Amino acid sequence: MNIVFDLDGTLIDSAPDIQSVASVILAAVNKPALTLAETRSFIGEGAAVFVRRMMAARGIDEAQHSHAALLEKFLAQYEFAVDKAVFYPGVLAALSELKAAGHRLGLCTNKPERPARAVIRHMALESLFDAVMAGGMIDSHKPEPAMLLQTVELLGGGPTLYVGDSEIDAETARRAGIPFALYANGYRKTPVSEMYHDWVFDDFAVLADIVAEVMAGHDPCVP
């Protein structure tokens, strides 16, 4: 079976790294740094959207500094911002268990390709993933379903579970028609009860059980 994961907020907490990069960019234009809470709330729809939200939060308009210029500076440093990223508890063990069981693992993230691959290398995840789809690799981004569907195709097609943490991930899964397991401890802003999901979990130790239910065709809404 295929299990496709989001990255930031699902497998790793990369907000401290992103906050650090944003702080450098903001300091250069004499604006105060983002808080960690602000940083987490801006993550999810790619670097361009993150920078636009950062500009709005600090009252920076196009007449002062263009979005394109700040995005270019942000991306120039983003690729190397990997030192503060950490796994959520139980992630590495869960990925290793699923891989050893013969499942095909994929990654589908709006994070731009170069920083995504940089953090994958840094966290020693390269050998675990059979397919990687990151921002900019195709002319689409989540919540449009194309990235997720392309990841499934790269994995060879077949039954798939998507695992993510945010409203963007939930909507992507819904549009793609793919079962969705929501990791509740990530970057979501909406109550779990108001989000689309088939399963919800807060401990990666139970992910193998969710996968087993998907394979058995179990309807999570039926006891």
Backbone angles phi and psi of 70, in degrees to 5? -70, -35
Domain boundary, last residue among 63, 78, 93: 78
Residues noted as catalytic? 6
pLDDT band at 81 (very low <50, low <70, confident <90, very high): confident
Of 198, 177, 195, nearest to 186 by C-alpha is 195
- Of 28, 52, 78, the residue at which a domain comes to its end is 78
Short-list 171, 172, 165, 173, CA closest to 189:
165
In the structure encoding, which two tokens stand for residue 74, read together? 């942000």
What 3-state DSSP class applies to 3? strand
The range of the structural domain enclosing residue 56 comes to 15-78
Please name every residue paired with 3 in a beta bridge, in sequence order, or none if there are none: 105, 161
Q: Are residues 47 and 6 in the same domain?
A: no
Q: What tens digit of pLDDT does each residue of 9-24 get?
A: 999 999 999 999 999 9
Does a structural domain hold residue 220? no
pLDDT tens, position by position, 171-219: 999 999 999 999 999 999 999 999 999 999 999 999 999 999 999 985 5
Burial readout 8-29 (b: 16 or more C-beta within 10 A, e: otherwise): bbbbbbbbebbbbbbeebbeee
Q: Please tell me the distance from the alpha carbon of residue 106 to that of residue 152, in angstroms, as a whole number.
A: 8
**Residue 57 located in a structural domain:** yes
- Whether a cis peptide bond, with omega within 30° of 0, leads into 191 is no
Number of domains comprising the chain = 2
Both 8 and 24 in one domain: the answer is: no
